[in-house]
Structure 1
Amino acid sequence: MSAPFQDKVCLITGAGSGIGRATAVKMASLGASLSLCDINYDNLSATAKQCASTPRHLDDVDVGSKQEVEKFIKDTIGKLGGIEFVFNCAGVNPTSIPLEETSDEYWDRLMNANLRGVFNITRGVIPHLKRGASIVNVSSISGIRGSAQQAVYCTTKFGLIGFSKCMALELGPKGIRTNVVAPGYIDTPTNAGIVKGGEAVTRMINGNALGRLGTPEEVADVVAFLFGEESRYMNGAVLEIDGGIKMSSTTSSGK
């Protein structure tokens, strides 16, 4: 089997389930060493078992905490020797809430995980990245088009695209690329529609041209592509992975 990422280190946040887990398994299959974090260590351990023969570092990390992120990055460098690829996948999926009923606590929770977490990780890894390194961030179709009663979530995902495009310009001259994946209706445990089940799942299935949910592995394949040489001239791009979303649908995506 080809190992294009042999002797390269890939740092993945939110690696305990869904797209983060699928990407860890994908990158391990391509030869990468892994530095994985999640707030749920049991889930993280389950991911690690699927990458059993891969050199790796695991840690339960709240990406919204500067101190925990700095320790995680320091330990990654100490154990694995460097960082070449970064996949910012940690985040909180939406709950549909009218704005006037939205609490300060809900705003803070989503901003902390979905935006501050990416900021903390990116700021922390930049001094360790060399020419040829690559960052991929997870936004959403909700970072491209709005959804009623999901103003806070959409704000974080729109903001993440803006942040990523700024990083593409700031880090590009150093030979470091930053790109974004924007998943649509993906079959993951934290997808809001999956959690609701029933009619919500049916709406998601009918909400795209392919007439099915996407899989975490299908997103992971795109992430691996963005890390690889085949995408070497892509920087600041936003790749929609949504099966051909229909504009009239309002059910949210999920990791």
Structure 2
Amino acid sequence: MSYNFKDQVILITGAGSGIGRATAIKLASLNATLALCDINYSSLEGTSKLCAGTPTSPYLSDVDVSSVKEVHSFIDETLTRFSRIDHVFNCAGVNPTSIPLEDTPDDYWDKLVGVNLKGVFNVTRGVIPHLKSGASFVNVSSISGIRPSAQQAVYCTTKYGLIGFSKCIALELGPRGIRTNVVCPGYIDTPTNAGIVKGGAAVESMAHGNALHRLGTPEEVADVVAFLFSGEARYMNGSVVEIDGGIKGNSNPPPGK
């Protein structure tokens, strides 16, 4: 593959760790100019240090994507600094906690829907007026946006919903030359993956829950995201790309990003 994002501005949410951080590093290596946000500013600073060598230093901002005001401020400042936005990677999200539905508190619903679904809506709606033909979105769903999980109804709702939202936006913006695609990571070795946090048997279950018998890495997801932004994916619009190592039919441990 040979593509380069020189003179292109890419906005990434959830860039402080995991897939968001790995994607920022990948795109920096391909000469992109980056606008990075996360709810944790210190983690963003860590990401920025790993993006050394970009033509322009990344713009960093602590943002709660569920807040319309904070999202609009981030977009406005990105445009003030760089005058354009070419691609958007909606990666900010909250990973699941397994809770029986009857025990699920309202604030858990509000948090996951607010970040995982409304956050993508906020960013997408705010950025659209500033995009030109050739721009694109890549949104992070999950294997749980395709496969249901017991005791994860709220999380699956947000990730299934994100796929539907993305496909609608692909139809809406496609005539303007703006593409929207989705990645669905499976068992990825990240600090916020619920199985990684549990350790031991949970990690072993994930590692043997797919045909490759190992966890994926954030860098492997980042490679796919970079491809989807590139001209080599110019006819991909509304696509849902599973990055899961070939998950087995009876395997469904906690996903993660």
TM-score by length of 2: 0.98
Q: Which residue of 2 aligns with 1:145?
A: 147
Name the SS for the 2:256 alignment partner. coil
Runs of 4+ in structure 1 deviating by more than 6 angstroms, as ranges, are: none
Aligned partners of 2:233, 2:7: CA distance in 1, in Å? 19
Of 50-59 and 134-143, more deviation after overlay is shown by 50-59
* CA shift for structure 1 position 3: 6.0
Structure-2 residue corresponding to 1:91: 93
CA RMSD after TM alignment? 1.0
Q: Helix, strand or coil: the match of 1:53?
A: coil
Aligned mates of 1:229, 1:72 — CA distance in 2:
26
Partner of 1:179: helix, strand, or coil? Answer: strand
What letter matches 2:156 in structure 1? C
Say yes or no: does 1:121 pair with 2:123: yes
Report the Cα distance in structure 1 between the residues aligned to 2:246 and 2:178, rounded to whole angstroms: 30
Quick one: which amino acid aligns to residue 82 of structure 1? R
- 8 Å Cα contact 2:141-2:162 kept in structure 1: yes
| Amino acid corresponding to residue 46 of structure 2 in structure 1 | A
Distance in 2 separating the partners of 1:235 and 1:250:
28
2:71 and 2:192 mapped to 1: Cα distance? 23
Equivalent residue of 2:129, what SS?
Answer: helix
Unaligned runs of 5+ in 1: none
Q: Hey, what does 2:201 align to over in structure 1?
A: 199
Tell me the matched-pair count. Answer: 255
Separation (CA, whole Å) in 2 of partners of 1:252 and 1:34 = 31
The yes-or-no answer on 1:17 pairing with 2:17 is yes
In structure 1, how many angstroms separate the alpha carbons of the residues matched to 2:208 and 2:46?
Answer: 32
1:77 to 2:62 alignment = no
The answer (yes or no) to whether the contact 2:3–2:230 under 8 Å persists in 1 is: no
Q: Within 2, Cα distance between the matches of 1:51 and 1:241?
A: 24
Give CA deviations for 1:10-58 in whole Å, capped at 9, x if unaligned: 0000000000000000000001000000000010000000112322210
Partner of 1:247: 249
Contact 1:3 1:29 in 2 (8 A): no
Distance 1:80 1:53 in 2: 17
User: What is the aligned partner in structure 2 of residue 67 from structure 1?
Assistant: 69
